[in-house]
C-alpha cells in the first residue's frame, strides 16, 4: 500500500516537473541560453519547496539533498529546450503547467507543514507559499510583476487547496481524499479565472486618485 509520505513525494516531484516546464518555457520565450533555461527550470520547480523548508527549519531543504528534484528539473528543462519549436501555442502551456504545479505543491506543502507541527492556519498558508513561491521567483528573475499578484484567483486557488488538506486533516479524513478534492478545487478555480474571468474585487479609487496614479512621480 502507498503511504502518505510516498504520496506527498510523488505530488512534490510532479509539481516540480510541471513548474520546471513553466520556468523553461518562460526562459525560452525570453531567449535565454540552455543554462539559463535549466536555472529557471530549477528555480521555478523548487523555490517554493526550498522556501517552505527554510522557514520550517527543515535544512538542508529536500530539493538540495534528494537528487530526484534536480534530475526532474533538468529533464523538464531539456525536454522544453529540444521540443519547444514543435510547440506553437506559447502562452497556454505555461498557464496549464503552472496551474497543475500549483495544485500539486499546495496540497503537498500543507501536508508537510502539518507533519512539522505547525498550526492549521499556518499550514494552509505554507501550502499556499509552497505553491506560489516557485512561480513568483521565476517571474521576479525575469523582471515581471509576479503573476500571483495580478488577480486571477491565483494565490486564492492555492490557499483553497491547502485549506482543504488542513480541514481534512482536522476531520480525520484520509489524506488521499483531501488531496484530490483540494487539487481539483485549485484547478477548477484557475480554470474559471482564466476562461471566465473570475476575479476578486479591487479597491474603489475616485477618478481623481486614478489620475494621480497614472502620473507617477516616484520620489
H-helix or E-strand containing 35? helix 34-56
Least Å distance, CB 210 to a second copy, is: 9
111 in Cβ contact with 49 (< 8 Å): no
Q: Judged by CB, which is closer to a second copy: 20, or 136?
A: 136
Q: Judged by CB, which is closer to a second copy: 104, or 154?
A: 154
**Longest Cα separation, the chain:** 63
Least Å distance, CB 146 to a second copy, is: 6
Task: State how far the Cα of 87 lies from the Cα of 81, in Å rounded to an integer.
Answer: 11
Least Å distance, CB 1 to a second copy, is: 30
Q: Judged by CB, which is closer to a second copy: 2, or 143?
A: 143
123 in Cβ contact with 112 (< 8 Å): no
Task: State how far the Cα of 18 lies from the Cα of 60, in Å rounded to an integer.
Answer: 23
Least Å distance, CB 188 to a second copy, is: 17
Least Å distance, CB 126 to a second copy, is: 7
Nearest to 73 by CA among 138, 4, 146: 138
Least Å distance, CB 79 to a second copy, is: 11
Q: Judged by CB, which is closer to a second copy: 117, or 172?
A: 117
Beta-carbon neighbour count of residue 157 at 10 Å?
Answer: 28
Q: Judged by CB, which is closer to a second copy: 32, or 167?
A: 32
Q: Judged by CB, which is closer to a second copy: 7, or 116?
A: 116
Cell of 138: 521565476
Task: State how far the Cα of 54 lies from the Cα of 38, in Å rounded to an integer.
Answer: 22
Angle formed at CA 180 by CA 24 and CA 94, multiple of 5 degrees: 20
Positions touching a second copy (CB under 8 A) are 27-37, 39-40, 50, 54-57, 59-61, 64-65, 67, 70, 80-82, 84-85, 88, 90, 118-119, 121-122, 125-126, 136, 140-146, 148-156, 199-206, 208-209, 212-213, 218-219
Amino acid at each position: 500500500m502507498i503511504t502518505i509520505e510516498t504520496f506527498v513525494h510523488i505530488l512534490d516531484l510532479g509539481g516540480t516537473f510541471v513548474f520546471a516546464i513553466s520556468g523553461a518555457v518562460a526562459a525560452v520565450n525570453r531567449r535565454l541560453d540552455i543554462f539559463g533555461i535549466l536555472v529557471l527550470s530549477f528555480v521555478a520547480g523548487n523555490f517554493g519547496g526550498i522556501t517552505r523548508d527554510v522557514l520550517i527549519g527543515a535544512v538542508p531543504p529536500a530539493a538540495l539533498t534528494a537528487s530526484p528534484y534536480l534530475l526532474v528539473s533538468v529533464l523538464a528543462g531539456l525536454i522544453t529546450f529540444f521540443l519547444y519549436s514543435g510547440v506553437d501555442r506559447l502562452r497556454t502551456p505555461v498557464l496549464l503547467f503552472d496551474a497543475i504545479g500549483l495544485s500539486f505543491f499546495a496540497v503537498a506543502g500543507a501536508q508537510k507543514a502539518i507533519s512539522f507541527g505547525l498550526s492549521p492556519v499556518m499550514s494552509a498558508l505554507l501550502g499556499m507559499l509552497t505553491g506560489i513561491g516557485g512561480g513568483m521567483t521565476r517571474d521576479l528573475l525575469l523582471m515581471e510583476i509576479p503573476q500571483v499578484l495580478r488577480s486571477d484567483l491565483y494565490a486564492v486557488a492555492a490557499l483553497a487547496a491547502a485549506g482543504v488538506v488542513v480541514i481534512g486533516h482536522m476531520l480525520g479524513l484520509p489524506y488521499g481524499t483531501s488531496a484530490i478534492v483540494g487539487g481539483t478545487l485549485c484547478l477548477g478555480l484557475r480554470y474559471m479565472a482564466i476562461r471566465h474571468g473570475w476575479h476578486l474585487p479591487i479597491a474603489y479609487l475616485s477618478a481623481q486618485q486614478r489620475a494621480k496614479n497614472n502620473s507617477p512621480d516616484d520620489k
